[in-house]
Structure 1
C-alpha cells in the first residue's frame, strides 16, 4: 500500500508539473553499426539532462516504469538476444523501497539483429521510458526510433567488447550459470597422430557425468568430432577414473567427475596441411540442489600449437575394456553358460548325451582314443557356436551393436523375435532347419577322423535347433544389445562350453552315465519354463522402445503387472494346474518341481508391492524407472483429490496428459497449456524439468506428494512441464536458429524449452518453477529446488492469492 501511495503521489506531482511546463529531459538518437554482411547493432543513445535519471530495462515488480524497446518485427530481419544496456548505477530507492538501476547524463542500448532480406534499409522501433529527478517524475513517454542500415558504420572493437561485457553482466545478473568451463589442447604422438585433449574445469560443489551412464540415468557427456577426409578418428574418447557412487534417485551406480578432468581422442591426420579440427561436447552438470539443461559447447583444436605427448598418453590405442565392460562381458558369459546347461536339459539335447558318449567309447580302439574323440567333438561344438557369434559381430559391426540398446526398431524386432521363441518353447510350433541340411551334414559325418567328428557336432547343432535355437537367439540378442562387438562371441563361448563339457566328462568317466536321470516328461517341463522366461524377457525390449518414444503405453505398473501374470502362470504350471500341448500326464509333483514352483510363487508375490511404488531392487534393471509410472500410490489410486486429474484419458483436453507419477493434468506444450489455463480460469505453473534431473525427481517424490501441495497441483493450477532434455526432434516446421548462439540450429524439443527458459527467465538450471497469470507475468518470484514442503506450499499459496487479486 505504501508503494502504491508513493507511486500515486509521484504521478500527481508529475501531472501538476507538466501543466506548468513541457519538459524533455531525455533526447534520443540512433545509429547503426555493421558487424558482418548480415548482422548489425541497432544503437539507441539517450542524452539525459543534469539532475535527471532514466530507469533500466530491468526493475523489480511494483517499481517505476522500466525503459522498454519494441521493434517493428518483419520477415526481413530477426532479433538476436535481448536489447543490452550499459552498467549504470544501482541505488536503494527510499520511495519504492527497493534497489533500482538507472542512468545519468547518457545511456546507450544495443540490439543485435540478423538481416534476412538484403534489400532492407530501414528498421523502425519505439522506446517507452520514464524519468525522474529528486523532486518529480514525468509520465511514461513513447518515442519513435528509426535505424538507417544504409548509413551504418563498422562496429568498433570497443563496441564488441561492450556487447560481450554486457552479455556477461546479463548472465551474472540473471542466474545463468556455467559450472563447467572447457578448454582444449593438442598432444603430438607421431608425425600423423595426435591426441585431442578436452579439459573440463568444474566449479566447486558441481559434478560432470561420465561418457558412460546406465540406461534411464542422467545425460552422459558425449563428444562429436566433425570428421572429414582430412583426418580419421582412432578408437574412442578416453576419460579419467572419476568417482563412482550409488545414486539413490536413479537407483544405479553412476560415474562422475569433480574439480577437473580430461578427455582424450586419438586421431590420424591424412592431410598434412590440416591445422584446425572442430568438435562439440554435450554435457550435463549437477550439484546438490540443481542441474543444468543439456549444454552444447563448440571445441576447437589447433594442431599447429601441439605439444609432445607424454609416454603414457602416447601409448598405442588398444581399445582396452573398462572395468564396466569387463563386468558386462563376464555377466554375458555367466548367463550364457547357465543357458547352455539349461539347453542340455531339453528334449532335443539331453537324450543325445548317452548315445553320443556310447558311440565314442564303443567305436574307439581304446579308452584314451574315445576320450580324445569326445574332446574333439566338444571342441567342435564350441568352434561352431563361436563362429556363429563372430558372424553376428561381423554382420552388424561395432556401430550397429552400440545403437541396439536405444534403437526403437531393433528393440521392437527383438520383442517380436522373443515372442516367437517363447511360443515355440510353449508348444505352439517347432522352429526347425530344413531336413536336407541335416541329411547332408549327417552324410559327411560318416567320413571319420576329425572332419567326421566335426560334422557330427554340426549335425547335433542342426538337429537340436528346435530347442537350442530360441536360447541361442535370445543370447545373441541380449549380447548384441549390450553394445559390445565382443558380446556375441563371449555369449556363444559360454553357451557352447556348457554344451560341450558333459560330452567330454562322460566320455572320460562313462560310469557317471548311470547317475543321469532318465529321459521323460520333465525335459518338456524345462523347455516350457524356458518359454515363460523368454516371454518375460521379450517385454524388456518392448519397454526399451516405449521409453525412447515416451509413448507411456508400457509404464512401470503395466510392465510389473505383465510380469506378475507371466510368473504367476508359470507357478500354476509348475504346480500342475496348467497343462500345455506336449506335457506328459502328471500323477504327482516331484520335490524339485514343487520347490521351483514355490520359488517362482515367492518371486511373483515379491513383485506385487511394485504396483504401489515399491522399488523392487532384485529386478531394478528390467522394469521402467520409478518416475515412468502412472502414480506413486499405485494403479487405480489417485490420492490427493479429484478435479481434472480424475478424468479418463479420453476426456483430456488437447495436448494434455496425466503426469506420471502423480496423475496431475499436465501439458508439455507451452501454448496449449496457456490456452487451457485461460479457458478454465486458472493460473499456470511452469515446471522446467528434465528426464535426467535428479532434484526434479526429489521434488516430485518428496514434496509434490504432500496432500496440501498435490491438491493445489491437481485442482488450482494448470501445470506445464517443459523437459529441457527431451531428445525428440523438433517437427520440420519448428526447427529454428538459436537466439543465444547465432548460426546454431535448435534440433530437439528440449533445446527449444531450454532456450525459452534462459531467454525469458534468465536462468538455465532445473528444477525451476514459475507461477504466472494469463498475461504471462509472474505472480511471485520463481523458485528452484525447494525440499522444504511447507516453504513450497507457502510459495504456491502466495501465487494463488496474487492471481485472485488481479
Structure 2
C-alpha cells in the first residue's frame, strides 16, 4: 500500500498545475501607427505594438485548422489601384516557431513589443488617407481575450495617425441600444476582480515525493544504514558524528539545487529557451528514447550508471581530503552512484518543469524538494540511531519498487513521443491509441505484481506478498478507469489525467463541436431568452470562445460530471456566446457601436457582437465567464469565471436554481 501511494504521487509530477484567474476589462496591447517616407512615391506603414508583460500577440501566420489555436493578427488596408498599392506582404519580426503546450499546435507570437512594416507605393497623393485595420487577440498562459479591431487613419503629409471614428447614424444608435440589456442585481452580486500568484509549493511537494520514491530504490535504500553507521562510529564523539551526518545531508540537498543553476542562466539569456527545449520535436524524441532505455533498465535487462571512474575519483577525494570538503565529495559520490535509480525520476521532474510556465524557478523548487527528501533520512537517523532497527531489510521488495517504476517510466516515455506527434501532426498517437498504451502498461504492472510475468532480477517465484496484491488491485482499478477513454462517449474525458493524454479533438473518432458534451446550447442571446420564457427556466449565459483553452477544460472536466451535467441540462437554458466567432453578420445586422469613451467599434461578425455584449452589460471581457439570470435579466448570484473545483461550481449552479425558485430567503 505504501509503495502504491508513493508511485501514484509520482504519476502526478506533470499533472498538477496551479491556475490563476483575472477578471475585468482591459487591453494589454497599445498600438502606434505612422508613415515613414522613402521617396515621393514609396512609403512604409509602421505599425508598432507595445504588449504588457505576460501577454502574447500572435503572428499573422496561422498554423493548424480553424479554431485549433490562437487567433492570428490580421492587418488590412484601404488600398486601391488608383490611390496606393501594397508592395509585398506586411513584414513582421522574425520569431521562432514553437509548440504551444496550451493550444497543442505550432505558434508564433510576440512579447513586449512588435513592429509590423508594410511598404506601399502611392499612385495619387492628393488628399490620400491610408486606413489601417488591425484585428488581433492576445493570450497569457491561462486565457485569451476576445479579438479586437483597431482602425487608424494615416495622413500622408504629416505621417501621423489618429483613431478612425466611424460615422454614427440613428440606425447605429438604435442597434447599439438593442445590444444593451437592463441587468438587475449588479450591486448585490458585485464582481470584484481577483488575482492570485502561482505558488511553487506544489512542485516542491511533488519533488519531495519524488525524492521519497528514490529512497525506496535499491541504489539508495541500502546506503542509509551504512552511511549513518559510518558517521556515528567513525567520529571521535557522538556530537561530531551527528554534525557530520547533518552536514552530509545538507550537501546532498545543495547538490541537487545546484543542478538547476544552469537552467537559470539559460532562462536569463532567453526567457523562451526553456519552452523551446521542452517543445522541440527532436528533443522530445530523444527524451522518449531515454525514458524507454531507463524503463528497460528498471526492468533489470541492463544497468545504467555514470562512468565508474567518476565515483571512484569522488570517493578517493572524500577519503584523502576529509573535513567539510571530504563530506561534500561523499555526498557527490552518492549522487553519482545512485544515478541509475534517481536519473529517471529527475528526468521526469526536468521534463515536467520545462513544459510548464514556471521555468527555471519551478525546476529549482522541484530539485529542492527532491534533494531534501534524500537528505532527511541521513540527518534523522543520525539524530535517532535506534530508528535504524525499524527499517525493513533490503530484499526483493526493492526490486519490485524498481520494476513498478519501470512501468511508470514506460508510460511517461510515450508522453514525450505524443508531444512530437502533436507538433508534426503524424497521427501516430491519437488519444485512443495513447490511452491504449497506458492500459497495456497498467496491465503489465498488474501481471508482474501477481507473479504472472517475471524479469531478470526477480527471485524464485512465490506467492505474492500482501503489498503486491494491494498495489496490483489498485493498478487494475486504474486500468479500468482508463478503459472509457477508448470510447466516443462523455466518459472519455479522464479528467483526472487532463493534460497528459492528447486532447479530445485529437481522436480516432469524428467529433461534433456544435455544442459541448451534446448539450442543447443556443448561440443567440435573444433566442435563448425566448426559450427561457417559454420553458419557465433560468438562463445560464456561457461567454466562451473557439480558441479558449480554459473553456474546454471546464466543459471536459467540470461540466462532464454527472450531477453538474444534469443541473445544466435539466434546470437551465444554456446560451453559449462565442466571442471569437469570425462568421460575418448579415449586412442588415452590421452597425457601428458607440462606446461610452466616445470611440466607435464596427460590429461586423458574430464574435464582435457577443464580445461587445459581454463588455457593455457585464463589464468583463475574459473567458470563460458564466452568468445565471432569469428571463427578466435579474442576476441569480455572482457571475464566475474559470472554476476548476467541481464541487464549488455545482454549489454555484444549485444556488442559482434555489434563488430562482425563491428558496433562499433571508
TM superposition score normalised by structure 1: 0.43
| CA deviation vs aligned residue, 1:481-527 (integer Å, no higher than 9, x gap) | 22322122111111111111111111111111111111111111111
CA distance in 1, matches of 2:373, 2:352: 18
CA contact (8 A) 2:216 2:398 kept: yes
CA contact (8 A) 1:431 1:469 kept: no
Whether 2:478 is the aligned partner of 1:603: answer yes
**What count of residue pairs does the alignment treat as equivalent?**
396
**How much has 1:216 moved relative to structure 2?**
3.6
The aligned residue for residue 202 of structure 2 is 331
CA distance in 1, matches of 2:267, 2:550: 35
**How much has 1:225 moved relative to structure 2?**
3.7
CA contact (8 A) 1:476 1:488 kept: yes
**How much has 1:473 moved relative to structure 2?**
2.2
CA contact (8 A) 1:292 1:766 kept: no
Counterparts of 1:393-404 in structure 2 under 5 Å? 393-395=264-266, 397=268, 398-404=271-277
CA contact (8 A) 1:389 1:488 kept: yes
Higher relative contact order (CA 8 A, sep 6+): 2
Bigger strand fraction: 1
CA contact (8 A) 1:217 1:692 kept: no
| CA deviation vs aligned residue, 1:721-775 (integer Å, no higher than 9, x gap) | xxx99xxxxxxxxxxxxxxxxxxxxxxxxxxx9799999x99544799xxxxxxx
| CA deviation vs aligned residue, 1:670-689 (integer Å, no higher than 9, x gap) | xxxxxxxxxxxxxxxxxxx9
The aligned residue for residue 335 of structure 2 is 461
The aligned residue for residue 470 of structure 1 is 344
CA distance in 2, matches of 1:465, 1:566: 24
The aligned residue for residue 356 of structure 1 is 227
**How much has 1:223 moved relative to structure 2?**
5.9
**How much has 1:407 moved relative to structure 2?**
3.9
| CA deviation vs aligned residue, 1:437-479 (integer Å, no higher than 9, x gap) | 1111111111221111111111111111111122222212222
Structure 1 residues without counterparts, runs of 5 or longer: 1-35, 40-79, 84-109, 118-212, 229-279, 286-290, 301-321, 634-639, 641-660, 663-688, 701-723, 726-752, 769-806
CA 355–757 in structure 1, closer or farther in 2 if over 3 Å, else same: farther
Structure with max Cα Rg: 1
CA distance in 2, matches of 1:420, 1:428: 10
CA contact (8 A) 1:401 1:482 kept: no
The aligned residue for residue 412 of structure 2 is 537
CA contact (8 A) 2:101 2:355 kept: no
| CA deviation vs aligned residue, 1:561-609 (integer Å, no higher than 9, x gap) | 1111111111111111111122222312111111111111100001101
Match 1:408 to one of 269, 276, 281: 281
CA 569–296 in structure 1, closer or farther in 2 if over 3 Å, else same: farther
Structure 2 residues without counterparts, runs of 5 or longer: 1-39, 44-75, 88-99, 116-133, 154-194, 519-544, 557-578, 591-603, 610-666
**How much has 1:699 moved relative to structure 2?**
12
Whether 2:448 is the aligned partner of 1:561: answer no
Counterparts of 1:459-538 in structure 2 under 5 Å? 459-483=333-357, 484-538=359-413
| CA deviation vs aligned residue, 1:88-122 (integer Å, no higher than 9, x gap) | xxxxxxxxxxxxxxxxxxxxxx87664479xxxxx
The aligned residue for residue 617 of structure 1 is 495
CA 476–553 in structure 1, closer or farther in 2 if over 3 Å, else same: same
CA contact (8 A) 2:583 2:606 kept: no
CA contact (8 A) 1:351 1:519 kept: yes
CA 632–226 in structure 1, closer or farther in 2 if over 3 Å, else same: closer
Whether 2:379 is the aligned partner of 1:379: answer no
The aligned residue for residue 41 of structure 2 is 37
CA contact (8 A) 2:103 2:549 kept: no
Whether 2:93 is the aligned partner of 1:215: answer no
Q: Cα RMSD between the aligned structures? A: 4.7
SS of 1:485 mapped into structure 2 = helix
CA distance in 2, matches of 1:459, 1:377: 11
CA distance in 2, matches of 1:219, 1:765: 26
CA 512–551 in structure 1, closer or farther in 2 if over 3 Å, else same: same
Counterparts of 1:115-194 in structure 2 under 5 Å? 115=85
| CA deviation vs aligned residue, 1:307-352 (integer Å, no higher than 9, x gap) | xxxxxxxxxxxxxxx84531xx222212211111111111111111
TM superposition score normalised by structure 2: 0.52
Bigger helix fraction: 2
| CA deviation vs aligned residue, 1:205-255 (integer Å, no higher than 9, x gap) | xxxxxxxx9824999997644479xxxxxxxxxxxxxxxxxxxxxxxxxxx
